[in-house]
Amino acid sequence: MSLVEILAEISKLSFAERQAVIRLAMEEDPYLSPEEETVLEKRMEDFQLHPQAGIPLTELKTRIFPE
């Protein structure tokens, strides 16, 4: 199954089901690589410098999990 197919199927799940999928994925690989940590640190620095560029969590959830 391709990533595109997986993402299409995930969007059909309920919010609770999507949370369960994310939890299972985190249990399988709970640690970030050094590169991933660097990306997250850079994004946090960027956000701290420009907080107006962010969006509220509720809007993020709506964008990711439209229902």
Q: Using only the alpha carbons of the chain, give its radius of gyration.
A: 15
Which residue reads 């199954």 in tokens? Answer: 1
Q: Which amino acid is at 20?
A: A
- pLDDT for 50: 92
Please state the rounded mean pLDDT for residues 41-63. Answer: 88
pLDDT at 65: 87
Any alpha helices (H) in 1-67, and if so which ranges? 3-10, 15-28, 34-49, 57-64
Contact 41, 32 (CB under 8 A): no
Q: State the pLDDT at residue 49.
A: 93
Measuring CA to CA, which residue among 4, 7, 2, 5 is closest to residue 64? 7
What would the pLDDT profile of 13-36 be if each residue is shown by its tens digit?
888 888 888 888 777 776 778 898
> What are the domain boundaries of the chain?
1-30, 32-67
% of the chain exceeding 90 in pLDDT: 7
